[in-house]
Structure 1
Amino acid sequence: MAVSFFIRNKKVGTSTLFARIRSSAKNVDIKTSTLLDVDVSAWENSQKSATKRKNFRNDENNKAFIDKLDLIEGTLNSILNSDADITKELVDRRIYDIVYSEQIAAEKERAKAEAMAIEKKQAVNFNGFIERFIHECETGKRKKKGGTTNIAPGTIRSYKGFQSQFKEYQESRLRIVDFPDLTLGFYNDFRQFLIDKSYSPNTIARMIKICKTICYAAEQLKLMDAGNIRSGFEVIYKDVDNVYLTEERIQELYDYDLSDRPAWEKVKDVFVVGCLTGQRVSDYKRISAKMIVTLTDGNRYIKLKQEKTGNIVYILLDYRVEAILNKYNGELPKVYDQKINDRIKEIGEALGWTEIVELDEQRGAMEYTAKKRFCDLLKTHTCRRSLATNMYKAGCSLSSIMAITGHSSEQQLKTYLKLDESEKGMLAAKENYFTRLRIAK
C-alpha cells in the first residue's frame, strides 16, 4: 500500500509530475497526473538521496509545490486506508480540489457575493422575489420542503417556465403585478391568458401550482399574506386519457428481437425496464446493477433514491430487468428522452399496436375528441402508468403501489391508473360482494 510520484517526460525543463497509487489488498494500481509541474533536473536530483530530498523540500522556492504534494500524498493515503471504492475519478477529483483550492475558494466567494447582490435586489416586489427564489433553487440554498435534498433540475426548469409566462402576461396587460395585486381577479385573468394561448388544462394547472409555491415561500419571509391564494387559487388538473402497456404487451416488447437495429434495441430495453419498475424517466434510465440489494425476506430488490422527491424506494427485481442489466454489463445504455419518445412509437407500430384510441382533449377553451393510434400515444411516461395500472389490476392496494412509485397521495396516484370501463367492471367483479353471488354461465 503506497503512494509514489514520478515523471514520464524527462526532457530538459519542466514536466508534469504523476502519482501512482497502489494497493495489492484492494487490487488498486492507478496512475494519474498531479496537475503540478516540476523542474525535471531538480526533481531527479532530489530522488538520489535522503539529503538531497531534504534540501529540495527545504528550498523556499519549492514551498508551495511541496505543501500541495504533501497534501496530495496524505489525502491519497487516507483514501487507501478508508473503506471507499478507489477509482481514478475519485483520485482525480481529490487532486483537483487540492491543486486548485485557491481558485475554488475564490469562485465560492464570487458566487456568494453574487447571491448577496441578488438578495439585496429582491424582496421589494414579486418579480424580484421570483428571481431570488429560482436563484436559491439553482444554488442549493433553497431545499425541498422539509428536507435537505436539492430541488431537481426539471423542477427548476418548470419554475423558469412560469417566470417566462408571468413576464409575458404582464407585458400583454401593460402592467407590473406586485404582491398586493395577487388577488382572485389576477388568478382568473392569468388563467384566461393561458387559456387564450391554447395551453392544456394540466399545463395551466402547473403554472398556478408554481405561482402558489412561490407565494408560500414569500409568505414565510413575511413579504405577503398568502391567505387568499391558499383558498382562492384553485389548481384544476384534468384526468388525461393516456394509454398503458398490459403485462402481455410488456412481454411482447421484451421478446421482440431487434438485434439487427441496435438503436431501437437500446430504446426497447430501457423502456421495458421503465415498465417493470414504474419510475420517472429520470430515474429508470439510471437503474444499474449497483442498486440491487438483498433484503431480509431473501428477495433481491432495486434500491433507488428518486431524483425528484428524494424518496428511497425498493422495487422487487424482475428477471427481465436483471437480464437487460446483464446484457449491458450492469449499466443501461444512454438514450435521450426524445429518442425514447420517437422510437418507441415506431417500435409500437412495427409490433402492430395500431388500434385507434379515442381521447377527450382540450386546448385552451376548445374541447374535442381526438382519434389516435395506440402506438402514437406511447412516451416515456407510459412506463410509470403501466406498472401502476398493472399492479392495481392484480389487486395490489394503493398504498403498496405508492411504496413503489413514490407518489405522495392516493389522489395523485389515481391519475396514473388507466383502465377502460370493461377493465373497471371486471375488477369490480372480483370484490367480495360479487364473489358471493351466483355468476351466470
Structure 2
Amino acid sequence: MASINFLYRSTKDYAPLNLRLLFRINNQDKVIGTKTKLVVSKNYWKKHNLKRLKDIDILNERKKVNDELDKIESFLLKKFHNSNPNLIDKKWLNNQLEAYYQEENDFIEEPTDGLVEYFEDFLRIKGKEISDSSIKKYTTVKNLVIKFDNYTQRKTKINEVNLAFKDEFEDFCLNNHYSSNTIAKALRTIKTVCNHAKLNGHSISHQIDSIKPKYLKPDHIYLNEKEITSIESIDENKLTESLTNARDWLLISCYCGQRVSDFMRFDKSMIRFEKNKPLIEFTQKKTGKIMTIPVHQKIMKILSRRDGNFPRPISDQKYNKYIKDVCDLAKINQIIKGSKKQETKKDSKIYRKISGEFPKHELVSSHIGRRSFATNHYGIIPTTFLMYITGHSTEAMFLKYIGKSNKDLALEISKFF
C-alpha cells in the first residue's frame, strides 16, 4: 500500500510543491521525495487545507491545485502498483514524474496536416482544460468542416485556411442557411485551431490574420421590469403545473443573473445566511468558479411559496418551450426584430436561425433571464458588482452583452458633468 502527500518546503514566496511517496516493504517504512512543477505561493499553501474558507479566490485556486495534484497522485500510484517495490527509489520516482509531464505535454503522436484531423488532436489536447460547452463548440465546427470537405470532395489542409478558403467556406454555409454570425464564429474557431497547430510545428497560411469575419450586431432581447411584473401577475388558473414551475424558474433567473446550467441546479441546501442576509453558494458549470451571490427578496418570496424549495429542475428543451408559453400568457406579444430557429424546408428536419419580425414571446429563450438581470440593473448597481454576478471578465464584454454602445456610455458619463 502506498500513499502520496504534497508539501511546501521553501523560504521563498513562490516555489514548486514537494512530493513524498510513502510505502512499506519488508516491514520497513520508505519515504521518497522529489519536486513537482506545480508552483504555488507560500501564503496560499498555508490556507490550502483550511476547512472553513470563505475567500472565493482561494477556493477557486484550491480547485485548480487539487485537480492537478489528483492527476499526479493517480498517475504515480498506478505506476507504483505496476512496478516491483524493491526497485522503487528516487530515480524511479523522478523518471515517473517526468513521464507524467511528458504525457501531459505530448500533444501529437503522429503529426497531420488535415484540418479535421487536427481538430481531433486539439480536442484531445485541450479537453482536460476547457469546459464541456467549449468542447461542444469545437466539435460542432469540426463537423461543419467535415460537411464542407464532403461538399468540395477534398480534404482541407491546415495551411490551406486562407482568404480563398474563407470565401468558399462562407458561400457553402450561406447556401446551407447558416446565419452570418454562426459563420463568423466558425471561422474564428478555425483560426484558433490553426494558430494552435502553428505552435506545434505546422505551417499555416500567411493570410490567416487577414481572415476577419464580420459579426452583425445581435438583437438585444430582454424582459423589462413591466414585463417581468406581468409574468408575476399571470392568473394562476391559466397555468398548468409545468408552466407554473417554468414561470418560477424564469423569474428566479431574472433576479439572479445566472446561466440556465447553473440556476437549474439550485437547491435550498446551497442557501446560507450571513448577518441575516440570504446568500447562495455554487460552482459555475462553465467556468468552474465557486460563486457566492446574494439571494434577491423576490426569489425568497418564490421559495416561501414552495416551503423553501426551488422549482423542479427540467431540461433546457422543455424550459425553452414552456417559458415561451408563459410569456404568451403574460401578453408579451410586441412585434420586434429577432431571430429564431425554423425548419429550412417543410419536413426537412433541418433547422437554422432565421431573422425577421416576430411576437416577442416567440423569441424568449433560456438566456433571457441573465440578460434581463444585467440590463435592468445597469446604472443602478455598480457595473463591477454586476460583472461579478454575471461572470463577465471585462467591462467591454459586459456592455456588449447588454447592448450598450459608446454613445450610451457617453450619456451615462454625462450625468456626472
Superposition TM-score, scaled by structure 1 size: 0.60
Cα distance change of structure 1 residues 377 and 127 upon mapping to structure 2, 3 Å threshold: closer
2:289 maps to 1:345: no
Q: Is contact 1:122-1:128 (8 Å) kept? A: no
Q: How does 1:88-127 map to 2 (within 5 A)?
A: 119-121=108-110, 123-127=112-116
Structure 1 residue aligned with 2:359: 373
Could you tell me how far 1:399 is from its partner in structure 2? 3.0
Distance in 1 separating the partners of 2:171 and 2:244:
44
Could you tell me how far 1:282 is from its partner in structure 2? 0.9
**Alignment partner of 2:232 out of 244, 248, 254:** 254
Cα distance change of structure 1 residues 416 and 303 upon mapping to structure 2, 3 Å threshold: same
SS of the residue 1:415 aligns to: helix
Output one character per residue of 1:389-410: Cα deviation in whole Å (capped at 9) or x when no partner.
1011x43443332111111233
Superposition TM-score, scaled by structure 2 size: 0.63
Q: Is contact 1:275-1:387 (8 Å) kept? A: yes
2:374 maps to 1:395: no
SS of the residue 2:357 aligns to: strand
Structure 2 residue aligned with 1:311: 289
2:311 maps to 1:322: no
SS of the residue 2:401 aligns to: coil
Distance in 2 separating the partners of 1:116 and 1:428:
48
2:156 maps to 1:156: no
Q: How does 1:36-435 map to 2 (within 5 A)?
A: 119-121=108-110, 123-137=112-126, 140=127, 142-144=128-130, 151-152=131-132, 154-225=133-204, 228-229=207-208, 231-258=209-236, 261-294=240-273, 299-326=277-304, 327=306, 329-359=308-338, 370-392=356-378, 394-418=379-403, 431-433=415-417
Structure 1 residue aligned with 2:97: none
SS of the residue 2:219 aligns to: coil
Could you tell me how far 1:378 is from its partner in structure 2? 1.1
Cα distance change of structure 1 residues 399 and 189 upon mapping to structure 2, 3 Å threshold: farther
Root-mean-square deviation (CA), in Å? 4.0
Distance in 2 separating the partners of 1:358 and 1:199:
18
Residue identity in the other structure for 1:398: T
Which structure's CA Rg is the greater one? 1
Residue identity in the other structure for 2:196: A
Could you tell me how far 1:252 is from its partner in structure 2? 3.2
Output one character per residue of 1:171-218: Cα deviation in whole Å (capped at 9) or x when no partner.
222221112212222223222322222211221122122212222332
Cα distance change of structure 1 residues 410 and 228 upon mapping to structure 2, 3 Å threshold: farther
Distance in 1 separating the partners of 2:107 and 2:288:
28
Sequence identity (%): 24
Output one character per residue of 1:55-90: Cα deviation in whole Å (capped at 9) or x when no partner.
xxxxxxxxxxxxxxxxxxxxxxxxxxxx89xxxxxx
Structure 2 residue aligned with 1:87: none
Which has the bigger relative contact order, CA under 8 A and spacing at least 6?
Answer: 2
- Please list every run of at least 4 consecutive aligned residues from structure 1 whose deviation after the TM superposition is greater than 4 angstroms: 115-119, 225-228, 359-364, 427-430
Distance in 1 separating the partners of 2:150 and 2:191:
21
Note the residue ranges of structure 1 that are not aligned, 5 or more in a row.
1-82, 85-104, 145-150, 434-441
Q: Is contact 2:162-2:205 (8 Å) kept? A: no
Note the residue ranges of structure 2 that are not aligned, 5 or more in a row.
1-50, 53-77, 83-99, 345-352
Q: Is contact 2:332-2:361 (8 Å) kept? A: yes
Distance in 1 separating the partners of 2:365 and 2:341:
19
Residue identity in the other structure for 1:391: H
Output one character per residue of 1:337-373: Cα deviation in whole Å (capped at 9) or x when no partner.
1111111111111122122224489999xx9972211
How many aligned positions are there? 310
Residue identity in the other structure for 2:136: R
Could you tell me how far 1:417 is from its partner in structure 2? 1.6
Distance in 1 separating the partners of 2:117 and 2:181:
27
